[in-house]
Amino acid sequence: TSFTEYISDTYDHLKPRVAETYESISTRAAGTYNTINTKLFARKDSCPPVWTSIAAELKTMYWDPATKQCNDDARAAIREAFHDCGAWQKSNGLVGGCDGSLILSVGNDELLRGENNADLIQFSGNIAVVTCPGGPQIKTYIGRRDSSVPAPPGLLPDVHAPAADLYKLFQDKGFDAKELAALLGAHSTSKTFHVPEIPVGAQQDTTPGLWDVKYYQDTLTPPQGVFVLPSDKALAAHPEVGKEFKGFVGGQGKWTGDFAKA
């Protein structure tokens, strides 16, 4: 993955308000460092730690104290973060991506669920992941500019598409087979409400409130009460993606690391 792809969602409009962004970019972006550096400035000490308070509030929202697991709002936030970014492909260049356009896309194939800021959508997804027991910490880059137009349709994955088409769709977004297999593991926390052949509210692994690798084994051999998405079934059997998919069975540490990287 090139540097441009790596931060494709922020590159065009780096308005970093957070010193962390500066540090990460300066260490990772050897080639492009000089050009970008001129646009950056460190966060002032006088800035209030807004993201820390937002994180605390979100963690409360995503946590179910009764079960000590993450809840439906957490699942929704994880999916939203994917959908806001997911309507992007390499050929779109430095336009679109994680730009908050999710909230503009009524009637489009992104979802409308109520948040209102590109950074907040990504931050919420990452907080939801770490709130689910077992979930890794994922660094959130800050400084996206909200889009004023919806993302183009047709760039999010169709649950009934053949595996080869889904793999191509993700390759066009810059992901390889291992990264796609790692990302699919988010279905460890998922429930299904809108897939006609699956009962409403059905789960995709035995532990939808935990961020664990049960999903991989449960997709390959579904136990009673687990309903596999047709796309997951197809990708698990795809020669390249399936090989990586099987590689995550029983590998909690490997998966969480690879998910966070992807």
Residue 206-235 contact track with ligand HEM, rule CB under 6 A, x = bound:
-----------------------x-x----
CB atoms within 10 A of CB 217: 16
Query: 33 or 227, CB closer to ligand HEM?
Result: 227
Which residues lie across from 226 on neighbouring strands?
203
Residue 20 beta carbon to ligand HEM: minimum distance, rounded to whole angstroms = 22
Per CB under 6 A, does 189 bind ligand HEM?
yes
Site for ligand HEM in 75-134 (CB under 6 A): 75-76, 78-79, 82
Q: Where would I find the beta strands (DSSP E) of the chain?
A: 63-64, 69-70, 191-192, 202-203
Among 89, 105, 140, 192, binds ligand HEM (CB under 6 A): 192
Query: 29 or 205, CB closer to ligand HEM?
Result: 205
DSSP 129-198: HHHSTTPPP-PPP--PPPPSSPPPTT-SPPTTS-HHHHHHHHHTTT--HHHHHHHHGGGGG-EESS-TTS
Residue 91 beta carbon to ligand HEM: minimum distance, rounded to whole angstroms = 19
SS3 content of the chain, % helix, strand, coil (to 5): 50, 5, 50
List residues binding ligand HEM (CB under 6 A): 75-76, 78-79, 82, 157, 159, 166, 183-184, 186-187, 189-195, 229, 231
